[in-house]
Amino acid sequence: MNFKFIVLINNLSQFLWQAANLAKTNMIALTPVSPKSVIRQLEGYHMEEVSKTISEMQQRIGSKLRAAGANSKDKAVTAQEADLDFPEQNWLNYIAGGLFALIKKTPDKRYYVASSY
């Protein structure tokens, strides 16, 4: 994977984390940044690098959900219960929930790993 791309993603995640904490302490309203908008900004990069990033994030989130025991709809957990960090929580809505998604989302915003994963 391109080193500059990794640095860009890490810097963006750090910035978003710091901005969210600043907003909490100073009561500043922030407009959330979606992973889709980040991907649109990265159009200059090869899509295979973006796909690798999405795949790696999916693996990280999936492993944390499995470690929390969220392997079925009945055992689904929240992002906090799975101990997901801020970047993982940002990507969670993008990765989870689709018809063929490996990470599923319940109506009450709990998450689990599909059995075919």
Write the pLDDT tens digit of every residue in 19-50.
565 555 554 455 555 666 666 665 555 666 66
Residue-wise DSSP of 69-93: T--SGGG-B-TTTTT--HHHHHHHH
In terms of residue numbers, what domain contains 39? 3-113
Give the residue-averaged pLDDT of 46-59.
77
Structural domains of the chain, count? 1
Please give the distance of CA 33 from its chain centroid, rounded to a whole number.
12
Q: What's the chain's average pLDDT?
A: 75
- pTM (2 d.p.): 0.59
